[in-house]
Every structure is written in structure tokens, then in C-alpha cells.
Structure 1
């Protein structure tokens, strides 16, 4: 994307400064500079500074997007609600719904120090003891999130937890059908098995929707912030821990840059230890974890099949997409195996 250090793509600093000075008078004390620190098909994240203070600005991707897929108000609301709790999140300052200010709705939050570890090569130099401690603190943070009473923080209407699991099974089957490019009989069998074995749901809570180490900031081996709340909702929290474990198992596949491999760093806690830690801290019954793992495998298989669909239709940009489709069948097979465990 085009742009400069002082005027990155998608952020009109003059318009932003005028708006932010209006809602936070006196906060800006000098000329603004900004840099794009995360961008692509997900939401864009900028670091904005006046030389004294620094803020983080989040907005949807450039171009036409579905509002429901990049709802700035939804992210802003959940982060703001969680600020008084023990869940580490940035402090929020403003939410602008007017797309005329910078070209899209956006919100502003504090900058939090920390590293979003994605690859084992980044984490391994810390040593196995520190890696082990970080991985367990990640689980503790997830259990802390799931312990929050949504009604107590004003999020009682943030989603529809009743029937959440059955809707998830239907949703991802619909997504799979929309990305049809080849026969995947295993996917049909996995879907049918999931639909026939939906368990009684765990007590509802706030679901992050994409909880993993590279969506957290870590500083001095402590989790300083949970980021990327664009998929958050109310539902069955066990879907979060299952998806986290499946991400870790994907790291064992030859996935290239398609998935973070941080879980392969020496000292990183294995699935059994993480489940035991989570069960202890959350007090939740994990006896139906096979279903949740099967659903997580199905979800990721569908997501990757969607990427494969776009690749075969010439709709992807960059390298590494040619092998994504190879991961789909192994994920489906792993989902069936998880259901049988």
C-alpha cells in the first residue's frame, strides 16, 4: 500500500487530529506522525504520536468490506467493557462511527508494550523455562476472560449464547458450501458427525474467537494485552481453548507461514498440560472436548478451503497460497479422530 511515514494509507492525519482534539481536548500537543504497524485483509492498525504521547488507531481494511466482518464498534465495546476487569486490554479513548473523517469508522486506544510472538524462532531464545511460563500465563489469561460475567460488564446482549454450538456447525458448513471447488467427502462426514453430537453447552461467557499467543502482547514474560477482538461474541468459551489447541497442532504440519509455529518452541506447554491448567483455573467440565476439537478442526479446514478457493480463482496476492489447500484434508481427518477420542 502506498503512503509515507507521516501519512500512511487509510489514515488522514489532519482529519484524525481535528476529530481527536475535539473528543479529547488538549491530548495532542504537537504535530502528528503515524505508521502502519499491521495491515492486510484484517483490520488496519496504526501507531500515531505527537512526539510526547502515542495512540493506537484501528480501522477496517481499505476498499469495500462487509461492515459485520470489521465492526469497529464491536471491538471498541468489548475492550472498553473489559478494561475494569482482570483481563489485560488497552485503554480505549474514542470511537468514531463517521466514515467521512478518515474514510471508515475507527477507534483509538492506548499503546501497550509487548511482543506478539508468532514463531518459535522468536520465542526460543528466551529459554525453555520462560517459554513454559509464558505458555501457561496465556492459558491463565484465557481462563480469566471466561470467568468474566458478561452481564456485570454490560455485555449481556453482546451475542446469543443459546444454541451457539449448533449454529457454529451450520455456519461453517454454509461457508464450506460457498467455497466449493472440489469434492471433500471427509468434510461432509465430519459435519454430519458434529451435527449429530452437539453436547450440552458450557456456561456462556465472552468468547474471543481467535485466541492464540500472537494475538497477545507479552512483556517481561507477562501477558500485557489481549488484542484482535473482531470475532468476539457471547457463546461457549470452550470453543476458544479448543481452537487454541488446534492451532498448536497445526504447527506440527508443514504449514509454512499459513500458521504460527510458536507452540514448537522448546518448553512450550503441551495440550494435556494446557487443558489441565485451564480446567483448574476455570472449573469447567472438559469431558466433551473431543467435540470442541472436532469443531475447531472443521472451522480451520473451512477457512483454509476458502483461501484455496480464492487461490484457484486468482483472487490471492502474494506467495504461499499454493500449498494451503494441502492442509485441508489432514485437518478434516484430525477432526474425525478428535471426535472419536
Structure 2
């Protein structure tokens, strides 16, 4: 992405661009931080059928969440241009929790950040679910398994047909739904001075199983959840439910492999 790629409609909203940089990001989109005469903005660009759909879902979710009090970026516009999609939103000053922990902070700061991560998830699960996310047609897990099958048949995913069959046959015991983020990883929470300042990437938001968020939150990464102490800090701060090993494997090692 460069300045000349950005649609005129977006350029008209943000003013003259003084600087553009590209933070570390996943493989689903191109992300740029723009410094302009009107402030700092984030632009996300996708060019793939699946990722285009996810970006649209993120745009909708951010609109629905704007009045909840959760630490979400303000969203401005969603633009369609041939097979490309663009999302414009506010920039939140901070770095991902993953980047923070990868920098090997001192133990006190690390534990404070992980504790705040657990408190952050608690605030999400205790947030009254916006009505737009509550669908009566079928249970959340059934919806996710249907999406997993579609993704397996149409896109490149890490999951396999054998794994999907296992997920359909042996399901975890049902649990009361809450509002969930749907991709609550250390990449999608922003921190500043150990405090959570932003929660991003909301395309998976739903009225669903809170264990899915917990499982993704505690996935081991470098200097993050690679020791039992990190899990205990997080779960004590979250303070609601704990996963069995079987539940963790079902959601993180199973269902997530199709998304």
C-alpha cells in the first residue's frame, strides 16, 4: 500500500498525509498508520474474499460497540473498490501485548500487563451483548463449525477434514453464552505502560462461548504464557471460569485452526 493506492473518499476524510508506516501485522490484511493534518488514523486493506468478509464484519462490529464503553477504536468508513476493501479508523497510541512481552520487560511489569489482560477479557464477557450479535437461528458452536467447513472447502486453513469430523463428534459440554471477542490474542490487545488501552480486530465478535476467548488468550508465545505462572495470573484476574485441558485443546488446537 502507498499513498496513491488510497481511495479519494478516504483521503478526503483524513487530510494531507505527512507520514505513513506499517506496523507488524498478521497475514489477513495490510495495515498502515497515517499521520495527517487531521490527526492519526489506521487504514486496513484486504484483497481476498475471506479477508474482505472479515473486514466488513469488523466494520459492523466497531459500529455496534461504539456505545459500550469497551476500548475499541472509533471507526469512520468502509470502502469497496473492485476486489479490494478498505477500513478507516482512529489510531490508538500503544503497542500490542505480544510486542510488549517480547521485549522482555521486568517481572513486575510483565505480571501487571498479564493481570490487566485478564481483567480486560472479564470486561468483555461482562459487557451486555449488543442486540445485533444475538441470533436465534442456531447455536454459536454450530455456526462456527459450519464456517469451519466452508473455510476448509474454499480457503487454505491449518485444519483438516479429519480434525473437523472430530470437532463435530466430540463437543465440549455446553456453557451459557456471553459477548465474546472471537480472536482474543496477545496480538489484538494494545498496551501503554502495562495498561490496556485498546482492543482491536473484532471480526469474530459474537454472542458465543467464552471459553473460546480464554483458550486463544493463553496460547503460549515467546515470554507469554510459556509458564504456569502466567496462566494463573491471567485466570485469577479474569476470575470467572477455568478451562480443562480438553476444552483448551478443542478450541485452540481444534476450532481455531479453521480461522
TM-score, shorter chain, exceeding 0.5: yes
Of residues 237, 251, 255, the one that matches 1:277 is: 237
Question: Secondary structure of 1:297's partner?
Answer: coil
Alignment of 1:115 onto 2:95: yes
1:241 is displaced (CA, Å) by 0.4
Look at both structures and tell me which one has the larger radius of gyration over its CA atoms: 1
What is the aligned partner in structure 1 of residue 111 from structure 2?
132
What is the aligned partner in structure 2 of residue 90 from structure 1?
73
Alignment of 1:241 onto 2:224: no
1:288 is displaced (CA, Å) by 6.1
CA contact (8 A) 2:42 2:90 kept: yes
Q: 5 Å matches for 1:290-301?
A: 290-301=246-257
- For structure 1, the 5+ residue unaligned runs are 21-26, 252-260, 304-341
More helix by share: 1
Of residues 14, 23, 27, the one that matches 1:37 is: 23
More strand by share: 2
Of residues 59, 80, 83, the one that matches 1:76 is: 59
Question: Secondary structure of 1:90's partner?
Answer: coil
Structure 1's 188 and 142: CA in aligned 2 closer, same or farther, altered over 3 A?
Answer: same
Q: Distance in 1 between matches of 2:26 and 2:237?
A: 35
Q: Distance in 1 between matches of 2:154 and 2:205?
A: 23
Question: Secondary structure of 1:34's partner?
Answer: strand
- Calculate the TM-score normalised by the size of structure 2: 0.78
1:301 is displaced (CA, Å) by 4.9
CA contact (8 A) 2:172 2:250 kept: no
Q: Distance in 2 between matches of 1:203 and 1:67?
A: 26
Q: Distance in 1 between matches of 2:235 and 2:117?
A: 12
What is the aligned partner in structure 1 of residue 196 from structure 2?
223
Q: 5 Å matches for 1:54-69?
A: 54-61=40-47, 65-66=48-49, 69=52
Q: In angstroms, what is the RMSD of aligned CA positions?
A: 3.6
- Select the structure with the greater relative contact order (CA < 8 A; seq sep ≥ 6): 2
